[in-house]
Structure 1
Amino acid sequence: MLPTELLIHRQNGETIVPKRLNIDAKNLAVANELIICFQEALGNTQGELDRQLSELEGDSPDYRLKRGLAHILKSSLSTFEVVSPLEPPELRERVFALSAQSIPSPQASGATLNILADKLSQELEREVLPSQIQAGLYADLAENRILTQFDGITPEDLLHRYNLSQVQGVFYRASQITLNAHRNVPGEYKLLFRYLKLFQLMAYIEGDADHGFTITVDGPTSLFKPSTRYGLAIAKLLPALLHVTKWSLSAILQNRDTYTGTWKTGRFTLNSDCGLVSHYPPGKPYDSMLEASFADRWDSLKSDWVLEREVDLIPIPGSVMIPDFRLVHPDGRTFLLEIVGYWRPEYLQKKFSQVRRAECDNLILAISERLNLEKAGVNLKDVPARIIWFKDKLIPKAVLAALD
């Protein structure tokens, strides 16, 4: 996504209109030029890349466009690494300590590098050159990091990413979003709700899978104070929404006027015919490493119980619950498993409220011991579920014990 200073929006009355680039020859040429710049910068420092990008910008009036495209390439598709024989602070300490034993001079500096290079070659059991030590001394500065990997992207895909990022920026200051997910394939709903959960968004959900859902998401400015971080979480939901076939949304925005400093209310609408292209994969197997780790352990377990990932939606008033797993036995018994890992107090309250309202008599809750449920105001005495406690990892044998 783009930082605020690279967003280009205009306001038509109360309606916010983000910048959208045409996928035409002119813009494709600009995108291609920047991609080539990054490809040729492989193995060079970030500082050298920034100088090349500055030359490409020149004094062009569309510098914000080029800078925005370059930001996407740098932040999402590039890997910069510290390349040094040792961690730079330790390397500096070794060099300065050795240098202090002689009178400063160009000859002494060269001798110091040669001596340390020999020592490090022996310690690390590989050849270390004096030039590598010299380059590694301040390799931890941002401008000295080395571009070690650049993921390929087509100019057309880069322009799509730019257009999506401009629209995402609208939601940084959203106070409320109302999303209508019309009748769709059930799997699309699941994907959308899983992303709501993944990005820890507070949502009120009405409807059902047969008729569609209305989802009201509280934005960052509806909290006690505006939170750009929460606004970023809302913006991250948009690429997931693009995988839903038919939807529409409306947002109320709070933007500060550049000249007067006063807050102005804006509005923004979008629907499934918007033409934006998502870079998110259509689906992902697990929402967290904790779930993936548990599933891997279960696969190696010899048990009649079968672990299933695809679980039906459980409609409850004001929301919908999607358990993480279903456990099925050949004799027909079925249990649902929900893993409660690290969440904010608001989410813990919401999660256990969902459990109570779902009224499932076959639900198992696996709860991390690291959670402070008492501080979050959660009382487990009236929770209608079997409860398992775990520390860092959920052990399948503990779940089996609860099943039996």
Structure 2
Amino acid sequence: MEELDEALRKVADAEPNRMQVAGFIKLLRDRCEIGTAPECDPAALRAEVFRLATQQRRALGIREPFHRSAVIDACAARHHCTPEQLESMLFADLPGAQLLSSMQPITPIDLLHRYNLALAQGILLRSTQVTIHLVPTTATRIRQLIRAMRFRRLMFQITGSAQSGYEIVLDGPMSLFESTQRYGIQLALFLPALVAEEGWSLKARLRWGKERKEAVLSISDQDGFVSPYRKDSTELEEISTLVESFSRLDCPWSVRRSSRIFHLQNQSLFVPDLVFEKDNKLRVYLEAFGTWNRDAVFDRVQILQQELGERFILAVSKKLRVSPEIACDDFPLRILVYGSAISAHSVWRLLEDIVKDV
């Protein structure tokens, strides 16, 4: 890879707009698969060579010289290769020595589309708030966007209806006290999901430059953005794992992904992840809450205190340090705090607890 990197540096240096060329190179590098030779384990090979060298040094007399070539020759014979091949494999895992094994092809126009989208994604890393407006649309479409935002664990509020259109307000990374870079990357990765839709506009408030001056980014579906987004790849791992593990339980409850949208009194929306059903009459909805801000959990509990006529479970990551006691026993809502995964047995116990007085 050293030869390739050097050639790319020469290409960038020869162009007047060096930063733009560097952006294209970054996108192309991201499409490359780079690694060591498949038959080679450089770390194990180095350990073997160093071990043999140590043994030979200890066996030498005080005036006897150490011959590095003898160690290389002996190891090469063990691995049925030439000393030159062994030398090339010793440090094959270092960045400069790695091999370009393959690259996903891309046309020039597609590369230009990716570049334009990446520019907008980079700007979102400096945002404090992002507001999205959607023209009147179907419930299926809005569920897809909500699913994509949840997949990226974004903090958002959504209001509106299928008849009047929707407004989505997302917290930007520059509004957080910690994990701003991680959250910003997730926000940037959400943008292709939005761009894949029609009838949208986005306005982002920014803190720009070293002085963090206020600025605004305004883009829409009329700006020619093209998305590589696939709609079949946006579900939280916690949800897919829970569906799989719960379906294996021998219990009277069934589980499926929820398609229902709850319209709340303040015109905001609540879209659960899953719905559990028993005897075709008992129903409990679950939302997985893996966000960056624990205050959002308290806001959700307050919202669900409205009379929605249903029962709910909020599954909350223990990283948010939320107590299950924030949900009152006399209210049809339970908090389930989970670690790396949502326990199917814990959900079953909560389901029975919620409906025990029905």
Structure 1 counterpart of 2:221, which letter? S
Instruction: In structure 2, list runs of 5 or more residues that go unmatched.
Output: 353-358
| Residue of structure 2 aligned with 1:309, choices 234, 257, 263 | 257
Distance 1:225 1:301, change over 3 A: closer
Distance in 1, Cα, partners of 2:94 & 2:82: 21
Structure 1 counterpart of 2:287, which letter? E
- Residue aligning to 1:73: 28
Q: Deviations over 1:79-137 (max 9, x none)?
A: 2224474352x54343233224248x999333312333455x5xxxxx67655542343
| Residue of structure 2 aligned with 1:95, choices 45, 49, 53 | 49
1:49 aligns with 2:8: no
Deviation of 1:403 after TM superposition, in Å, equals 4.1
- Residue aligning to 2:16: 61
SS of 1:51's equivalent?
Answer: helix
Distance in 2, Cα, partners of 1:268 & 1:371: 31
Distance in 2, Cα, partners of 1:51 & 1:357: 63
Assess if the C-alpha contact under 8 Å between 1:206 and 1:215 holds in 2: yes
- Residue aligning to 2:273: 324
| Residue of structure 1 aligned with 2:161, choices 188, 204, 208 | 208
Deviation of 1:281 after TM superposition, in Å, equals 0.6
Q: Deviations over 1:234-275 (max 9, x none)?
A: 32222111133212122222222xxxx644332221122221
- Residue aligning to 1:297: 245
Deviation of 1:278 after TM superposition, in Å, equals 0.8
Q: Deviations over 1:50-98 (max 9, x none)?
A: 12323433512133333211101212x222224474352x543432332
SS of 2:128's equivalent?
Answer: strand
| Residue of structure 2 aligned with 1:231, choices 184, 188, 205 | 184
- Residue aligning to 2:195: 242
Distance in 1, Cα, partners of 2:115 & 2:65: 49
Q: Deviations over 1:357-394 (max 9, x none)?
A: 575532234455676324xx972446632455655444
Deviation of 1:161 after TM superposition, in Å, equals 0.4
% identical aligned pairs: 27
Distance 1:70 1:113, change over 3 A: same
Distance in 2, Cα, partners of 1:96 & 1:237: 48
Structure 2 counterpart of 1:109, which letter? R
Distance 1:160 1:335, change over 3 A: same
Instruction: In structure 1, list runs of 5 or more residues that go unmatched.
Output: 1-45, 122-126
- Normalization by structure 2: what TM-score? 0.79
- Normalization by structure 1: what TM-score? 0.71
- Residue aligning to 2:69: 110
- Residue aligning to 2:107: 154
Assess if the C-alpha contact under 8 Å between 1:361 and 1:385 holds in 2: no
Q: Deviations over 1:262-312 (max 9, x none)?
A: 44332221122221011111343x522222222233454566654322421
Instruction: Give runs of aligned pairs for residues 135-150 of structure 1, distance below 5 A.
Output: 135-150=88-103
- Residue aligning to 1:27: none
- Residue aligning to 2:282: 333
| Residue of structure 1 aligned with 2:120, choices 158, 167, 191 | 167
Distance 1:378 1:357, change over 3 A: farther
Aligned-residue CA RMSD in angstroms? 3.6
| Residue of structure 1 aligned with 2:87, choices 102, 123, 134 | 134
Distance in 2, Cα, partners of 1:129 & 1:366: 58
